[in-house]
Chain A
Amino acid sequence: MTATDRPPVPEDLEHVDNDQHPVGHGRMLRKEDPRFIRGMGHYVDDIQLPGMLHLAILRSPVAHARIVSVDTTAAQAHPKVKAVITGADLAEKGLAWMPTLSNDVQAVLATDKVRFQGQEVAFVVAEDRYAARDALELIDVDYDILPPVVDVRRALAPDAPVIRDDLEGKADNHCFDWETGDRAATDAVFEKADVVVTEDIVYPRVHPAPMETCGCVADYERVSGKLTLWTTSQAPHAHRTVYALVSGLPEHKIRVISPDIGGGFGNKVPIYPGYVCAIVASLVIGKPVKWMEDRTENLVSTGFARDYVMRGEIAATRDGKILAVRTHVLADHGAFNGTAAPIKYPAGFFGVFTGSYDLEAAYCSMTAVYTNKAPGGVAYACSFRITEAVYLIERLVDCLAYDLQVDPVDLRRRNLIRPEQFPYTTRTGWVYDSGEYERALDLALDLAGYDDLRREQEEKRARGELMGIGVAFFTEAVGAGPRKDMDILGLGMNDGSELRIHPTGKAVLRVSCMSQGQGHETTFAQIVAEELGIPPADIEVVNGDTDQTPFGLGTYGSRSTPVSGAAAALVSRKVRDKAQIIASGMLEVSVADLEWTKGAFAVKGDPTRSVTIQDIAMRAHGAGDLPDGLEGALEAQICYNPSNLTYPFGAYVCVVDVDPGTAEVKVRRFVAVDDCGTRINPMIIEGQVHGGLADGVGMALMEMISFDEDGNCIAGSLMDYLIPTALEVPHWETGHTVTPSPHHPIGAKGIGESATVGSPPAVVNAVVDALKPFGIRHADMPLTPSRVWDAMQGRPTPPI
């Protein structure tokens, strides 16, 4: 099928609305795009300050070694070098180690050992970035090579070298154990089940690989004692607090500014040693210092994602009622546990591995280990490990369908949670807020023409052609989170918002989340516009500057709209409440006699007597009297604490063709039906979905951070770590249903990561379905041609 004769999808028909200027929710072009498409975005690397110096980091060439000596004499002698700092130098200041977001510690610069290839060993500060880089080659480090731990399955072997001998009494590579669900109840259900399917499923290590790498400019002003840090951060406020706690600088003397960010996907949540190095350099030298990592540094040293080795089991009746799911996970956390997740959730939200199904029991046990690989853990648009959870359950359901010889759609339909069961408490304790799952599934099947596709597949199979149809249904859990349950390093996961209406009725909204391309300047203006009737063009959205915005935990885990978006709506309503009192004075009626139509208050029963929000704003700042007890100005602030997470969901259908001779996979079609509750800007939602789907195709077919047996990372460039291009992805066919969240002020649920979560199992299910004639029930990602061919030969597809 070609692009021209594909079935029309609803969104295509909506494109004509692109020129609309909705005062509120609706399709409109992004306010931030004119500067981006003209190349006028302003990123960290665009920051130029007088006297600014440049920092470059020397990294370990090996995965595991004891540092015998570091000789910096030649580098110090370079005419353009201002400073060379080693781990020993930092240790003197008590700064050689820093806390991670998971209460572990991570070396800023290695002192005793290097524990992964690419680890930070020393840094140079020089007059320009070329000299800084040149001087790195003048540093002589003597390493005593140690055997590395590369294979997560070997990490707990009795003879495995101990990586974290810095931790007192540490005699193995065990990181933590974690469990959820009811083990005894689950075992009992498995005992009595007609059918049990077991599959080993690997979610390989992947990388967010944002277009802009990480970096910062640190500027410590000695006179004022103020540190300003321009940085690639998805969470400027959280970073500021951590810097204050680590460095001892008072928090009010630290200003963190995230300018335009060229993609984050979770990669810019952690605090990396490079940021700390730049801060130390500026403190020591008294000049602004810039550090921008290069592509290789980004790929080999910053926050990876996934790396879960899972054994999944699913129990069912013979006629296809799923009873229980049980899994054991071996989690590779790299050399330091740098997982960015709410502190009580060491496995993130993996506990939602029960998926979208009504089960009798579920249990998961997890063992996390240290290996000689880069730290990190949760990153890459995964909603705190839901990507892994959804992949596991959606693969298991397909494996069960394979064994039961039933259509995977019928099996899913039979077991989906029904609308009347919401709010639904899962067997692992998550309270899904709302859902109409079957409606979304039906729409996806309808858009895809599922029955026709199955007929086509049957004909093709008869001719020896390999066509596969993959279906995945997912439920996300986003918008972390309620402060009673969720914090990061003790900071509650709440977000503030401040709204100020100027005398002329223009507005500025200050939010604590931080856009990395999501379109916050538009979406958040539309949220305020919907509540106050002020056109989005008249609303400036400020984010990313801790001196300009209220405290909050930032943007990741699809939490911007669920948390900050709620704050923006509620702060608008607070302003509207005050506006109503002012209007009652202006119209000389009681508050109760006023009626709000978007943008104006009118006297009930007499629409000719009304005042607009702009009139009210002028009055609030004017010389005239205000109702008794009311202060001037029209502004408000709020801190929003969500009562629950929100649970977006979706149904995806992927169609692939596999070349029987070369084993190449072509994704022919992809239909994505998403339900993210109330839709604020459908165009932005579709853009987020498109990007996430491309991510998912990439992970399913080509992406993997791999290592050789010596611990060398062999994915250190974009020629080795492949991300998909326009040629690998089809025209996306999107649709939607709307099931509002009952507890969110505007019913919105979040969309940023849905497609990344839902698409990998859809693609893999499609490829495995295509290979059904070969008797294949499962194959591990990434499904490169070579690995698909291996599967066709009946060989296992372990990580390379």
Chain B
Amino acid sequence: MQVPAPFDYERASTVEEAIGLLERLGSEARLVAGGHSLIPMMKLRLVNLEYVIDINDLHDELGYVRVGTDEVRIGAMTRHRELLESPELGALFPIFADAEKVIADPVVRNRGTIGGSLCQADPSEDLTAVCTTLDASCVIRGSGGERVVSMADFHRGPYETAVEHGEILTEIRIPVRPNGSSAYAKVERRAGDWAVTSAGAAVWMDGGAITDARVGLAAVGPNTTGIPTISEALRGQAPSDELFARAGALAAESCSPVTDNRGTADYKRHLADELTRRTLRLAVERIEAGIAGDQRGGS
């Protein structure tokens, strides 16, 4: 049995209380939500903390998927399983169900949260790529109030986010735009493994032409901008295999993978290309089939 170094445990029942505890206990305190990243690191003694602040009681307050006219708001304590099983989210953004099906395993999904995933900021983390693809923004609250940041600003680098000490991520907001759909694909060595590479794509169309498109990648270096060159290349074009191939090539060019046990840099770059093409194609197919995505205002 792996055992962590000694630490003290606190439990917060409101967001305000959690912020207060963080301020009072100082920089050696960390929030624990689902605990599927922090607790293994503590057990391996890669992370030694003085205090763990358990925020699972905040699930009542921050566990929700709310669909509005222009945006969907997801509480930071919403668990993977709830995202996977949300019919509203599934209808508007099929990318979520695609991704959640390949995140870890049911035991982890029952417990892990979207907020915890984003704040862990692992470069291989799937929901960061999903939120990037969907151009999400993040609501961060501290004792001084709330601020809203884009994914590009939120994700500062591997294991680093815009959430400062004394702050807590409370909500993820995803804009709803007409006649779009999305998809996610991941290559992993085995179910439950981190991605070798994964890609998310979101496409919006008008008639036969793409009005906008975004691609988010995971595990191939920092990428929280949705790869603007792909968006530029696709806008105004009719979908075709040649177009997707061009997007794939751009994805391969714009990532910076490294060789590790999961695969070589060359292979990951190849996957960035391959999975970008696949997800773009699937997103367009979904729009054309009218089976998923937001169809308001579209054909």
Residue B263 CB within 8 A of the other chain = yes
* Docked pose: A296 CA to B40 CA in angstroms: 12
In the bound complex, do residue B194 and residue A661 qualify as a contact, i.e. CB atoms below 8 Å apart? no
* Docked pose: A687 CA to B192 CA in angstroms: 25
**Neighbouring A residues of B3 by C-beta, 8 Å:** 129-130, 133
| Nearest chain A CB to B165 CB, angstrom units | 25
Greatest chain A CB density within 10 A among B1, B45, B105 is at: B1
Residue A632 CB within 8 A of the other chain = no
Residue in chain B with minimal CB distance to A663: B267
A722 with B193, Cβ < 8 A, contacts A706-B261, A790-B264 known: yes
**Neighbouring B residues of A134 by C-beta, 8 Å:** 5-6
Residue A462 CB within 8 A of the other chain = no
Residue A180 CB within 8 A of the other chain = no
* Docked pose: A130 CA to B7 CA in angstroms: 12
Residue in chain B with minimal CB distance to A786: B263
A727 with B274, Cβ < 8 A, contacts A295-B2, A720-B261, A790-B267 known: no
**Neighbouring B residues of A45 by C-beta, 8 Å:** 1
Residue B230 CB within 8 A of the other chain = no
In the bound complex, do residue B190 and residue A728 qualify as a contact, i.e. CB atoms below 8 Å apart? yes
| Nearest chain A CB to B90 CB, angstrom units | 21
In the bound complex, do residue B190 and residue A702 qualify as a contact, i.e. CB atoms below 8 Å apart? yes
* Docked pose: A784 CA to B190 CA in angstroms: 9
In the bound complex, do residue B190 and residue A661 qualify as a contact, i.e. CB atoms below 8 Å apart? no
Residue B11 CB within 8 A of the other chain = no
In the bound complex, do residue A662 and residue B187 qualify as a contact, i.e. CB atoms below 8 Å apart? yes
- 1/0 per residue, CB under 8 A from B, across A712-726: the answer is 001101011010110
In the bound complex, do residue B196 and residue A785 qualify as a contact, i.e. CB atoms below 8 Å apart? yes
- 1/0 per residue, CB under 8 A from B, across A745-785: the answer is 00000000000000000000000000000000000000011
In the bound complex, do residue A722 and residue B189 qualify as a contact, i.e. CB atoms below 8 Å apart? yes
Residue B246 CB within 8 A of the other chain = no
- 1/0 per residue, CB under 8 A from A, across B94-129: the answer is 000000000001000000000000000000000000
Residue A294 CB within 8 A of the other chain = yes
Residue B177 CB within 8 A of the other chain = no
**Neighbouring B residues of A728 by C-beta, 8 Å:** 190-191
* Docked pose: A800 CA to B3 CA in angstroms: 31
Using a CB-CB cutoff of 8 Å, which residues 241-299 of chain B contact chain A? 261-264, 267-268, 270-271, 274-275, 278
* Docked pose: A664 CA to B270 CA in angstroms: 13
**Neighbouring A residues of B193 by C-beta, 8 Å:** 719, 722
* Docked pose: A706 CA to B261 CA in angstroms: 9
Using a CB-CB cutoff of 8 Å, which residues 167-212 of chain B contact chain A? 187, 189-194, 196
**Neighbouring B residues of A81 by C-beta, 8 Å:** none
In the bound complex, do residue B2 and residue A664 qualify as a contact, i.e. CB atoms below 8 Å apart? no
Cβ-defined partner of B2 (8 Å) among A294, A714, A719: A294
**Neighbouring B residues of A129 by C-beta, 8 Å:** 1, 3
Residue A292 CB within 8 A of the other chain = yes
In the bound complex, do residue B196 and residue A786 qualify as a contact, i.e. CB atoms below 8 Å apart? yes
* Docked pose: A790 CA to B278 CA in angstroms: 21
In the bound complex, do residue B189 and residue A719 qualify as a contact, i.e. CB atoms below 8 Å apart? no
* Docked pose: A661 CA to B261 CA in angstroms: 20
In the bound complex, do residue B191 and residue A727 qualify as a contact, i.e. CB atoms below 8 Å apart? yes
- 1/0 per residue, CB under 8 A from B, across A126-143: the answer is 000110011001000000
Cβ-defined partner of A786 (8 Å) among B5, B262, B275, B278: B262
Using a CB-CB cutoff of 8 Å, which residues 643-669 of chain A contact chain B? 661-664
Residue B47 CB within 8 A of the other chain = no
Cβ-defined partner of B263 (8 Å) among A296, A714, A785: A785
Residue A789 CB within 8 A of the other chain = yes
In the bound complex, do residue A789 and residue B270 qualify as a contact, i.e. CB atoms below 8 Å apart? yes
**Neighbouring B residues of A133 by C-beta, 8 Å:** 3
A785 with B1, Cβ < 8 A, contacts A714-B261, A725-B192 known: no
| Nearest chain B CB to A93 CB, angstrom units | 29
* Docked pose: A714 CA to B270 CA in angstroms: 25
In the bound complex, do residue B267 and residue A789 qualify as a contact, i.e. CB atoms below 8 Å apart? yes
In the bound complex, do residue A784 and residue B189 qualify as a contact, i.e. CB atoms below 8 Å apart? yes
In the bound complex, do residue B194 and residue A724 qualify as a contact, i.e. CB atoms below 8 Å apart? no
A664 with B261, Cβ < 8 A, contacts A129-B1, A296-B44, A785-B267 known: no
**Neighbouring B residues of A786 by C-beta, 8 Å:** 196, 262-264, 267-268
**Neighbouring A residues of B192 by C-beta, 8 Å:** 725
Closest 7 CB pairs of A and B: A786-B263, A727-B191, A786-B267, A294-B2, A661-B274, A722-B190, A789-B267
Q: Which residues of A contact B (CB under 8 A)?
A: 45, 129-130, 133-134, 137, 292, 294-296, 661-664, 702, 706, 714-715, 717, 719-720, 722, 724-725, 727-728, 784-786, 789-790, 800
Q: Which residues of B contact A (CB under 8 A)?
A: 1-3, 5-6, 44-45, 105, 187, 189-194, 196, 261-264, 267-268, 270-271, 274-275, 278
Given contacts A296-B2, A725-B105, A725-B190, 5 further A-B contacts (CB under 8 A): A134-B6, A137-B45, A662-B187, A706-B261, A722-B189
Please name 13 pairs of A and B residues whose Cβ atoms are closer than 8 Å in the assembled complex, sorted by A: A292-B1, A294-B1, A296-B44, A702-B189, A706-B261, A722-B193, A724-B190, A725-B105, A725-B190, A728-B191, A785-B263, A786-B268, A790-B264
